[in-house]
Amino acid sequence: MFKPATLLISLAALTALASGQGTDFTCPSADISSTRCMGPKDCLYPDPNSCEGYIQCAPADETYTTGLIYHMPCPAGLLWNDVQKWCDWPENATCEQVETSNTQVNAAQQDNKSNDGYHS
């Protein structure tokens, strides 16, 4: 069970991230009305402006016809995988954004982890 203070902090963080400004994205009303965004992978979409995060939609009201847009960041070094609907290692990401040098370094570091640090 959530403590009231934890819930308030979580709601404040989500409210701070909620914004429809600066994006060309509209929450699909068909998805909102059919799923009501209740499942763990419902109403999650790639962010058209950044591979380093995703968009989570939530019903705007009880009619389930429109949605609120929440820009959600991925943890550092991870990119959005729209097939799995989670933040993933860059080599698994489905985003088409051009990789930056930092992303390439992170991918190389992950490759080293996968072969126990030995270079081939």
**Mean predicted lDDT score pLDDT of the chain:** 76
pLDDT (tens digit per residue) in 8-59: 334 434 443 444 455 689 999 999 999 999 999 999 999 999 999 999 999 9
Q: Which DSSP string corresponds to 54-103?
A: EEEEEESSTT-SSEEEEEEEPPTT-EEETTTTEEE-GGG----SPPPHHH
Q: What's the pTM value of the predicted model, to 2 decimals?
A: 0.63
- In the chain, the largest separation of any two C-alpha atoms, in whole Å, equals 57
Whether 107 shows a pLDDT value over 60: the answer reads: no
